[in-house]
Amino acid sequence: MKDIIVAIDGYSSCGKSTLARALAAKYHYAYVDSGAMYRAVTLYFLNNDVDWANENQVLQALDHISISFKFNPETDTNETYLNGLNVEYAIRDMRVSAKVSEVSKIKAVRVALVQFQQDMGEHRGIVMDGRDIGTVVFPDAELKLFMTADIAIRVQRRYQELLAKGESITIEQVTENLRHRDQIDTTREESPLRQAKDALVLDNTNFTQEEQLALASKWVEERIAAKQQEIEW
Ligand code: DC
């Protein structure tokens, strides 16, 4: 079987990582959550009082940041490590969510993380989700998905996720955070969230997880077959 790259982009809380994780498990591909990297950098900046309006401070801080992922069989996920410490939980809290879009606007941060992401996809066989994966990180990905869903559904999913983690938060705060992130992610100068020309749109407002996986799997298998044929010719 030929290995391909699956690039998944879309708005916050559209279910990108749920789909990406399921596809990676099904095809034995690596799953990389690029948002976790931007979150880890944001956590480092917050914890170390880095003034991210100051370019020198940003460059110096980036030199001291090392991000890695390690599979945890207990949670069945790839967990994020920042300088050797497990930060999987810390990077998902509202303190980081409130600032991550600001940090991801910074060019030096994007340059460093895009390089790291491209290195991870060098051998293909990878599913990566984010905002610029099909447009900037892997413009030659064999399959690009652009995911979307109604804002009310996205807010509900995110709210339930945070409640389950024990965060005390209101629906209004979650709505505000998602709208704010969508606004920054789509209007920033550096690699704004855009649908790649050759991306397939997946609106999962009315889909179950199983339905969305079935549809995406069909597309993955078509692309793998096409790649196989290219090679045989
Ligand atoms: O996918 P997420 O919500 O965990 O991502 C957190 C933030 O990181 C999101 O608001 C925008 C940013 N991001 C980005 O700019 N580019 C990516 N490839 C992934 C995430």
Domains, in order of start, for the chain: 5-223 (3.40.50.300)
Which residues on adjacent β-strands are paired with residue 80?
A: 69
Q: What is the pLDDT of residue 1?
A: 67
Nearest CA to ligand 1 atom 9: 101
**Per-residue pLDDT in tens (0 to 9) along the chain, 233 residues:** 679 999 999 999 999 999 999 999 999 999 999 999 999 999 999 999 999 999 999 999 999 999 999 999 998 888 999 999 999 999 998 899 999 999 999 999 999 999 999 999 999 999 999 999 999 999 999 999 999 999 999 999 999 988 998 889 999 999 999 999 999 999 999 999 999 999 999 999 999 999 999 999 999 999 999 998 887 77
Nearest CA to ligand 1 atom 5: 35
CA of 131 relative to ligand 1 center, distance in Å? 6
Could you identify the atom of ligand 1 that is nearest to the CA of residue 17? 1
Helix, strand, coil percentages in the chain from 3-state DSSP, rounded to 5: 50, 15, 30
Q: What is the pLDDT of residue 76?
A: 82
Nearest CA to ligand 1 atom 20: 35
Asked if residue 88 has its Cβ within 6 Å of ligand 1, the reply is: no
Could you identify the atom of ligand 1 that is nearest to the CA of residue 104? 15
Q: What is the pLDDT of residue 24?
A: 95
CB 156 within 8 A of CB 136: no
Q: What is the pLDDT of residue 213?
A: 98
Tell me which amino acid residue 55 is.
E
CB 145 within 8 A of CB 7: yes
Predicted TM-score of the model (pTM): 0.94
CA of 87 relative to ligand 1 center, distance in Å? 16
Q: DSSP class of residue 154?
A: H
Please state the φ and ψ torsions of residue 126, each to the nearest 5 degrees.
-145, 145
CB 99 within 8 A of CB 46: yes
